[in-house]
Amino acid sequence: MPTPAQAPRREDLGPCAEGAGPTIAVHVDHGGRGLGLIGAVLACATALAALLFGVLAVFVTPLIGAALLTLVWPVIFSEQFTGWVFGTPYLPFWKAFLLFLLVGAVVRFHRWSTSGELWRRR
């Protein structure tokens, strides 16, 4: 049976520890084994959550705009007009999303061409 790790003493930390405040040491004794399948699933879930958060951070405005446009479009325009513009009697979400991405890129590059800054610093 392995003994749990001891928290390092202040004198073991060297000269940088003077006045550094309290130290915290965490030790998880898992018997020398890996976390196995559950650990792999949790690691993948963490990576996917980080990826999803990044995608949402980048595309939140076009996603919300496309969702609102998809909901409001049938109230404003007829099925005939929608079929003539988009080729279907309804507005597909992915077409509205691509439209918002394109409009956002055009607006951003127009601002850049007139101001000289691509992403404005605040």
Segment 18-72, tens digit of pLDDT: 555 676 777 767 676 777 888 899 999 999 999 999 999 989 999 999 999 999 9
Identify whether 108 is part of a domain: yes
pLDDT at 1: 46
For 87-110, what is the mean pLDDT?
Answer: 91
pLDDT at 122: 61
Identify whether 120 is part of a domain: no
Classify 105 as helix, strand or coil.
helix
**Number of domains within the chain:** 1
104: buried, middle or exposed (CB in 10 Å: 19+, 13-18, 0-12)?
Answer: middle
Q: Which residue has the higher pLDDT, 95 or 11?
A: 95
**CA 41 – CA 51 distance, rounded (Å):** 15
Identify whether 2 is part of a domain: no
Domain that includes residue 30, residue range:
10-115
**CA 115 – CA 98 distance, rounded (Å):** 26
Identify whether 107 is part of a domain: yes
Identify whether 26 is part of a domain: yes
Q: Which residue has the higher pLDDT, 7 or 34?
A: 34
pTM: 0.55
Question: What is the four-CA torsion angle of 27, 30, 35, 39, rounded to 10 degrees?
Answer: -40
